[in-house]
């Protein structure tokens, strides 16, 4: 019998792992305003139809972008196609992040009055229906964790970390508001982290969209937000409003 097993039989019971809220290495909660520091011409105004510049779309994606008809989306009740998880974070606006409970983080966007729910603890249930925001499985990734020496386990609290989310079960949408599409089998992987510069807190979200239907390769982007002290400027607006 191993020494570890022997200790386990007579030792004190180990405490259960902390809930994700208590274990958070960074604080994502509060109000954040987007900083449009790149891709200004595609984020601040709706690009012209068929503009797929710098996007890794395949031939089918280009054809779909050329066929974009916003009036058709409106008539079919799908005016929120550009506000799904695949494109939402790149729209200019504000976020409100809060804990719904110890295992569920909620990200509300005033653009399109959309709400993303980040679930700690596993993949989507089989019964999960597709939606604009899909199902986001979340997990903390710790930086700076210490190891042991000569077989001794040494626990060192991480000084920082990030949040990884993987979003599936998406309804087909647009990752650029001029109808550049992603399909129902798209997978969105994101890394959320914070940093402080001269006393100002920033949120950086790096995302990778993989879509076998419309993309020739994964599309990787990052967006930045600055933290606000209050809800000034928070103004949820419906899709297309």
Look at residue 10 and tell me if it is in a domain.
no
Taking only Cα atoms into account, the Rg of the chain, rounded to an integer number of angstroms, comes to: 21
Work out how many domains the chain is built from and give that number: 1
- Nearest of 88, 7, 58, 62 to residue 218 by alpha carbon: 58
The count of C-alpha atoms lying within 13 angstroms of the C-alpha of 189, restricted to the half-sphere facing its C-beta, is 6
Task: Give the model's pLDDT for residue 13.
Answer: 66
Q: Rounded to 5 degrees, what are φ and ψ at 13? A: -65, 140
Distance from the first to the final alpha carbon of the chain: 67
pLDDT, tens digit (0-9, with 9 covering 90-100), for 191-232: 999 999 999 999 999 999 999 999 999 999 999 999 999 999
pLDDT, tens digit (0-9, with 9 covering 90-100), for 160-197: 899 999 999 999 999 999 999 999 999 999 999 999 99
Look at residue 217 and tell me if it is in a domain.
yes
Q: What is the pTM of this model?
A: 0.87
Residue 30 gets the label, from left (phi > 0), alpha (psi -120 to 50) or beta, of left
Q: How far apart are CA 100 and CA 105, in angstroms?
A: 6
Task: Give the model's pLDDT for residue 240.
Answer: 73
Look at residue 147 and tell me if it is in a domain.
no
Look at residue 151 and tell me if it is in a domain.
no
Look at residue 179 and tell me if it is in a domain.
yes
Q: Answer whether 124's CB lies under 8 Å from 224's CB.
A: no
- Nearest of 232, 227, 237, 200 to residue 29 by alpha carbon: 227
Look at residue 172 and tell me if it is in a domain.
yes
Look at residue 11 and tell me if it is in a domain.
no
Q: Domain range for residue 45?
A: 19-142+159-232
């Amino acid at each position: 019998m191993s020494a570890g097993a022997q200790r386990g039989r007579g030792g004190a019971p180990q405490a259960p792992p902390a809930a994700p809220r208590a274990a958070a290495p960074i604080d994502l909660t509060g109000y954040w305003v987007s900083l449009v520091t790149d891709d200004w011409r595609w984020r601040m105004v709706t690009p012209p139809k068929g503009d797929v510049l710098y996007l890794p779309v395949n031939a089918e994606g280009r054809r779909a972008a050329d066929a974009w008809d916003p009036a058709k989306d409106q008539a079919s009740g799908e005016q929120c196609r550009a506000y799904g998880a695949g494109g939402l974070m790149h729209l200019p606006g504000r976020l409100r992040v809060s804990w719904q409970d110890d295992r569920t983080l909620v990200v509300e966007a005033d653009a399109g009055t959309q709400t993303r729910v980040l679930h700690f603890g596993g993949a989507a249930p089989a019964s999960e229906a597709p939606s604009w925001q899909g199902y986001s499985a979340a997990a903390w990734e710790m930086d700076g964790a210490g190891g042991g020496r000569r077989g001794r386990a040494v626990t060192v609290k991480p000084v920082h970390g990030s949040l990884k989310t993987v979003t599936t079960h998406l309804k087909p949408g647009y990752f650029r508001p001029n109808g550049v599409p992603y399909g129902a089998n798209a997978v969105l992987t994101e890394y959320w982290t914070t940093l402080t510069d001269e006393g100002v807190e920033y949120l950086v979200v790096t995302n990778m969209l993989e879509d076998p239907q419309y993309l020739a390769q994964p599309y990787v982007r990052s967006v930045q937000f600055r933290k606000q002290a209050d809800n000034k400027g928070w103004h949820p607006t419906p899709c297309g409003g």
